[in-house]
């Protein structure tokens, strides 16, 4: 039996139909919802991770197969294998993982898959290789919800290295996009900037906070002192 078949068999050993039903609702998989058609086995994260560790040497053909699966945990296993390979590899391996990942983004189509992977694989590679970051702006300007989230979430790696300019520019691009998952992601990244440099976040907020969707603003100012937070919410800055 091939490694790929064994992997899929191992995942199904942890299958929980009742948990799968909960996850189906939680990740909005119904008709017309953001993750329409996504299917779950009902695994816990540590169970998925244990399978990913067991098959860490999976080839790219099999990884592509997993990323094209309708089963969420199969795509997540592929993502976890790629993250681990990226972290452990030299710059040539990182480039290899990055290029494979960029060419298979259609499988990165739910917020957890985006958030766990792109700060490392896309943000990490562009930072370490000093690569051209225009791809992130292309993602932010696309009509695809997940590419937009990928664009902003990739900058988390830059923020962790005290670089904020790309996050702020992409936040400006996404400011008026009408989807809760983008509002939350932008607000989260602005908050992460503020956790490291409150002045940099406030400089941006003072220009744009009145234009921000309420959810984005609430996420951005969540850690502010109470009196300052209320001033932003009441538009009294």
Q: Which two tokens stand for residue 192?
A: 């992460």
| Cα gap 148→150, rounded to integer Å | 5
* Contact predicate 101/121, CB 8 Å: yes
What is the fold, at CATH topology level, of the domain defined by 1-98? 1.25.10
* Contact predicate 135/102, CB 8 Å: yes
Determine the pLDDT at residue 1: 65
Which element (helix H / strand E) includes 195? helix 180-196
* Contact predicate 123/154, CB 8 Å: yes
User: Cβ of 153: how many Cβ atoms within 10 Å?
Assistant: 27
What does pLDDT average to over the chain? 97
- 88: confidence class by pLDDT, cuts 50, 70, 90: very high
Q: What is the pLDDT of residues 16-73, one digit of tens each?
A: 999 999 999 999 999 999 999 999 999 999 999 999 999 999 999 999 999 999 999 9
Distances in Å between the Cα of 103 and the Cα atoms of 66, 99, 100, 169, 233 are 14, 6, 5, 25, 41
Taking each helix axis from N to C end, the angle separating 72-88 and 3-12, rounded to the nearest 10 degrees, works out to 120
Task: Name the maximum alpha-carbon separation found in the chain.
Answer: 66
Place of tokens 């292309």: 138
């Amino acid at each position: 039996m091939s490694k790929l078949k064994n992997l899929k068999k191992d995942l199904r050993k942890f299958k929980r139909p009742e948990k799968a039903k909960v996850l189906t609702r939680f990740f909005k998989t119904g008709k017309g919802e953001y993750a329409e058609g996504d299917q779950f086995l009902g695994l816990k994260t540590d169970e998925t991770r244990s399978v990913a560790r067991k098959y860490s040497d999976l080839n790219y053909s099999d990884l592509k197969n997993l990323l094209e699966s309708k089963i969420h945990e199969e795509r997540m296993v592929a993502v976890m294998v790629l993250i681990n390979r990226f972290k452990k590899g030299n710059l040539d391996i990182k480039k290899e993982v990055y290029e494979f990942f960029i060419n298979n983004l259609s499988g990165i189509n739910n917020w957890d898959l985006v958030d766990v992977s792109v700060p490392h694989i896309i943000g990490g590679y562009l930072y370490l290789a000093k690569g051209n970051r225009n791809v992130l702006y292309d993602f932010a300007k696309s009509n695809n919800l997940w590419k937009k989230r990928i664009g902003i979430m990739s900058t988390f790696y830059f923020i962790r290295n005290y670089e904020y300019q790309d996050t702020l520019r992409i936040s400006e691009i996404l400011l008026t996009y009408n989807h809760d998952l983008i509002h939350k992601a932008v607000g989260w990244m602005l908050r992460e900037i503020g956790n490291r440099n409150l002045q940099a976040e406030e400089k941006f907020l003072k220009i744009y906070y009145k234009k921000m969707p309420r959810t984005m603003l609430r996420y951005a100012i969540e850690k502010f002192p109470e009196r300052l937070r209320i001033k932003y919410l009441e538009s009294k800055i």
